[in-house]
Amino acid sequence: MATQQALLIIDYTNDFVADHGALTCGQPGQAIATTIVTLADQMAVEHDWVLLPTDVHTPNDPYHPESKLFPPHNVRGTWGRDLYGPLADWYTHHQTDETVWQFDKTRYSSFAGTDLDLRLRERHVTTLHLVGVCTNICVLHTAIDAYNLGYQLIIHRDAVASFNPAGHDWALSHFKNTLGAEIV
């Protein structure tokens, strides 16, 4: 029986983490790979939910606001959208587990335009563990929406990263001091 907590592994893809990714965090993103997989293993053993909200785009979409801000990234069916490194192997091994699922998201927040809140509430999840990239973009916007929806938040400091060190530090402070998240 699954518990009342879920791990959200946000946007841990080649485009955001690999050396040649379109919007890579590079080494800071790569350095958290083992921690993310270890947390996923721990949650899976406990029959907790392990969710992989994953950014997906159409190149040069004139209706998507990110098209004006960033180069094409996480395009469906490309290497860039594939999960990065050891997480890709972990997901291949666990993708048929009842408590594991990957889903598309098209905005920064894992809640925007998805059925995440509904699925979490159906499963009586009250606490979200957030990991992934980028700390100050998709992790931040997911945390803000989760806070506004009443979820308890746990941010794993050693399992989030950004290409922007100042933004990363600011987001960690914001999680704790404005959203009341537990930073572990």
Q: What topology is assigned to 5-183 in CATH? A: Rossmann fold (3.40.50)
pTM of the model: 0.95
pLDDT for the residue 65: 81
**Nearest-CA neighbor of 107 among 77, 51, 63, 148?**
63
Give 87's contacts (C-beta < 8 A, 6+ positions apart): 9, 12, 33, 36, 37, 40
The model's pLDDT over 9-62, given as tens digits with 9 standing for 90+, comes to: 999 999 999 999 999 999 999 999 999 999 999 999 999 999 999 999 888 788
pLDDT for the residue 3: 67
Give the single-character DSSP code of 80.
G
Domain ranges of the chain: 5-183
Residues of the chain where predicted confidence (pLDDT) is lower than 70: 1-3
